[in-house]
Amino acid sequence: MATAMSFVPSSLHAASIAPISETQTTLAGHHTAFSEQLFRLPTRDGTILEATLLLPHTAGPFPLAIVSGGASHISSSNHGARDRYTYLSGYFLARGYAVLRPMPRGFAGSEGKLISDGCELATTARRNADDIRDISAAIAQLPDIDATRIVTAGLSFGGWVQMAMGTMPLPGTRAQFLFFPLMHVSNCHDDADRLLAGASEFGAETRLPTLWVQGENDSLAPTESWKAMYAAYKEKNPRAELIDVPPFLNDSHSLLNDPDGLRPWISEADAMLEQVGLPHRVVVADYLPALPPPASGYADLNDFSRLPAQNDMMRKAYQTFLAQETPRAFVVGDDAESVGSHSFDAITSALSACSKATQNCHLYAYDNRVVWQGHAASLVRQQTIVAPTGKVVSVFYSVLNTDCTPRYVPAINLVKGPVHGALRMSTSATGVTHHTAGPLTKCNTVPVKGSVLQYRSNPDFHGTDSVTITKQVSADPSDPRVTLTYLFTIN
């Protein structure tokens, strides 16, 4: 059985290591910034590789998480984008780690040609790992880094490379996380045996505690293949643990592209970090998105009849939500709906948009499930209005487009008239609105068309009189109307 080996850092001096740029980055909808430093550093043969170092706004020196990304669509003509913040980066940043995102040769702004040894997939991983090891060893010398506390992580191709790097870890490396580790080469069509042999080979050369995360519906790895790879790896490295993720959305290979993908592994990752003496508790929650709640059982995702309100705008907004790709969130409020998608934090984005337009905003659905814990909006409402005796009180109703033109004039119908006063109702009135939030506040100074209810008490009446009406709440006249009862308290 092979024994684990350690890598001795190169002679690159810490004094010569400096970022070529540094920015402060704040995630959309969040408030706590982190530092993003860009480095260009040489490998042992002088090839310059690009690397990004993310530093939390907490006190250092920081434990170091070395995170390698995937290689989707990377080629000699498409170098891809530089790896920066991802949800996996956020996992470590939130726990107070510095996060290094090194780019292999031929990736993003790194020099050199892509490393490829054809169907010798293990060799390709080892050669890329040599480069990543050089860059990581240089960064580990920085005064902000605690080189005695290192964890590595990689996904897809990055997981395959980090598995190879684990055979000769940097001093201070205590654990590794492998997310669906593999690689494919276009002219190597039957590579399952090469992946299996490589996993066995790498497992025999490391004793690092290893968390292997993989899903049942991985589009790039048949379940039978990756389970054989894991079994071969664990046979040689008994310190490996597997998280077998149930089918995740349409493809578990996109597990780390959605906040939902944090839930299957985050507690086990925390436990492993704790086991090896590394930080495992969240210290800056702002570096992570809001974690979506589970399905509530309130309704099926495509059941429009259970939406909290039955009106054309609610249905239109929900149709927009269902047409979005994940991650996606649908939020409803008193008088508005909002959709968040394709963003770092779809839930926070949608809640923020809703709260700018109305009140009582709550998450209704996320991705492919309804999470709503409330009830359908009440179609019966009551309001108390205080007025002097004998004075006219007007209640104006309008439904506007964002350019302040009427979307429709709401119909109003009398259910119960007043006992101690006179009532006038009209659906051809002109008035002003009193929006308190959102884009329609600009319409408050513009006379618009709408409906009006006017009440005046009898001259000598003091007390409470009531009026009940129904009001149209949708451009579709067949939608249920709201019943409004006004309690006029006359001084």
Confidence (pLDDT) at 4: 42
Give the per-residue pLDDT at 8.
42
On whether residue 9 sits in a domain, the answer given is no
Q: Assess whether 390 and 360 both reside in one domain.
A: no
- Say if residue 256 is in the same domain as residue 349: no
Q: What are the φ/ψ torsions at residue 51 (nearest 5 degrees)?
A: -150, 145
DSSP state of 252: G
Same-domain status, 323 and 461? no
Same-domain check for residues 62 and 191: yes
Residue 293 lies in a domain: no
Specify the pairing of strand 210-215 against strand 173-179.
parallel
Q: Is 479 exposed, middle or buried (0-12, 13-18, 19+ CB in 10 A)?
A: middle
Q: Is residue 436 part of a domain?
A: yes
Domain boundary among 346, 370, 394: 370
Q: Please give the Cα distance from 134 to 49 (Å, whole number).
A: 10
Dist CA 104 CA 100 (whole Å) = 13
In a domain, residue 298? The reply is no
Give kind and range of the element (H or E) at residue 195: helix 192-204
- Residues 243 and 385 reside in one and the same domain: no
State residue 394's pLDDT score. Answer: 96
Question: Domain holding 417: CATH number?
Answer: 2.60.40
pLDDT for position 13: 58
pLDDT at 3: 39
pTM score, whole prediction:
0.85
User: What's residue 12's pLDDT?
Assistant: 57
Report yes or no on 63 lying in a domain: yes
At which residue do the structure tokens 């790039």 appear? Answer: 220
At residue 6, the pLDDT reads 44
Buried-exposed string 117-144: b where 16+ CB fall within 10 A, e elsewhere: eeebbbbbbbbbbbbbbbbbbbbbbbee
- Neighbouring C-beta atoms of residue 67, cutoff 10 Å: 27
Residues 360 and 435 placed together within one structural domain of the fold:
no
Residue 63 host element (H or E): strand 62-68
Full residue range of the structural domain in which residue 63 is found:
14-287
User: Residue 366 domain-assigned?
Assistant: yes
What are the residues whose beta carbons fall under 8 Å from the beta carbon of 142, sequence distance 6 or more? 14, 17
With tokens 């059941």, the residue in question is 303
Quick one: how far is CA 147 from the chain centroid? 31
Rounded to whole angstroms, the Cα distance separating 478 from 73 reads: 51
Q: Within this chain, do residues 76 and 135 fall inside the same structural domain, yes or no?
A: yes
Indicate the residue among 234, 255, 287 that finishes a domain.
287
CA 445: distance to chain centroid? Answer: 39
In the block, residue with structure tokens 């408050």: 444
Which pLDDT score, from 0 to 100, does residue 293 have? 95
pLDDT by 10s per residue, the chain, length 491 = 333 444 444 455 555 789 999 999 999 889 999 999 999 999 999 999 999 999 999 999 999 999 999 887 777 778 778 989 999 999 999 999 999 999 999 998 999 998 888 899 999 999 999 999 999 999 999 999 999 999 999 999 999 999 999 999 999 999 999 999 999 887 887 789 999 999 999 999 999 999 999 999 999 999 999 999 999 999 999 999 999 999 999 999 999 999 999 999 999 999 999 999 999 999 999 999 999 999 999 999 999 999 999 999 999 999 999 999 999 999 999 888 899 988 899 999 999 999 988 889 999 999 999 999 988 888 999 999 999 998 999 999 999 998 999 999 999 999 999 999 999 999 999 999 998 888 889 999 999 999 999 999 999 999 999 999 999 999 999 999 999 999 999 99
Query: Do both 133 and 234 map to the same domain?
Result: yes
pLDDT of amino acid 205: 97
Do residues 268 and 315 share a domain? no
Q: Are 212 and 182 in contact (CB under 8 A)?
A: no
Domain boundary residue among 224, 259, 287? Answer: 287
**Do 467 and 413 fall within a single domain?**
yes
Total domains, the chain: 3
User: What DSSP string runs through 114-147?
Assistant: PP--TT-HHHHHHHHHHHHHHHHHHHTTSTTEEE
